[in-house]
Amino acid sequence: MGSVYLKNIIRFFFLVFFQVLILNNIRFGGYINPYFYIYFILLLPFDTPRLFLMLASFILGLTIDLFVNTPGLNAAACVFMAFSRPFVIRSISTGTAFQPGSSPSLNNQGIKWFAYYSVILVLLHHFLFFYLEVFRLSEFFHTFARVIFSSIFTLLLIWISEYLFYKREK
């Protein structure tokens, strides 16, 4: 059990540093802003207590907010994503129980399940983040385009990472 905590702590710091040092400097025409750090929330184990899930997500978002000077936007979007996560898992699962300590991944749940899971949660995060950032409806379609393009790029990064660590059955 201690190795699960250690792995998630290392993942937390790696994703924060990767986001802050590399990905925050990537902007393609103002439409694509990759937010790969939310991969941390996606990969937390299924049996993570809800309070810890919300607290870890808040700390993750607040950490990113401190580095990029967005007062609470990332924290709000991460907490919303963490709040929605159990509902998304229940709605796309077929009723089978998950192994204690297992995490959502291509290896554990398969391609179709992980695709639904990641697309829904990334879109929820990005919708809230970008619309809170703009906070007006006059730029609805411009913001919607940012949500879609940034979500696609973020999902590509997440799926590439999953495929790098995906273990095929022999």
- Is residue 60 a contact partner of residue 129, using CB atoms and an 8 Å limit? no
Radius of gyration, CA atoms only, the chain: 16
The pLDDT assigned to 99 comes to: 74
User: What is the spatial distance between Cα 28 and Cα 25, in angstroms, rounded to a whole number?
Assistant: 10
State the Cα angle at 34 between 28 and 39, rounded to 5°. 170
Count the alpha carbons within 13 Å of 8 in the hemisphere toward its beta carbon.
Answer: 21
Range of the domain at 152: 2-165
Structure tokens at 169: 């059955």
How many domains are contained in the chain? 1
Count CB atoms within 10 A of the CB of residue 41: 22
Tell whether 94 is covered by a domain: yes
Please tell me the predicted confidence (pLDDT) of residue 86. Answer: 93
d(C-alpha 36, C-alpha 18), whole Å: 8
Which pLDDT score, from 0 to 100, does residue 170 have? 40
Is residue 170 in a domain?
Answer: no
Q: Are 148 and 160 in contact (CB under 8 A)?
A: no
Return the pLDDT at 146: 92
Strand partners, 32: 28
d(CA 49, CA 31): 35
Answer whether residue 64 is part of any domain. Answer: yes
Res 2: pLDDT? 67
Write the DSSP symbol of residue 102. Answer: -
Distance between CA 107 and CA 126 in Å, rounded? Answer: 25
Helical residues (DSSP H) of 27-110, grouped into ranges: 39-42, 50-68, 73-92, 106-109
152 in a structural domain: yes
pTM over 0.75: yes
| Separation of first and last alpha carbons in the chain | 27
- Total residue count of the chain as it appears in this document: 170
pLDDT for the residue numbered 5? 81
Q: Would residue 118 count as lying in a domain? A: yes
Mean pLDDT per segment of 10 residues, for the chain of length 170 residues? 81 94 80 91 92 96 94 96 95 77 83 94 96 90 93 95 71
In the numeric block, which tokens belong to residue 65?
Answer: 């907010």
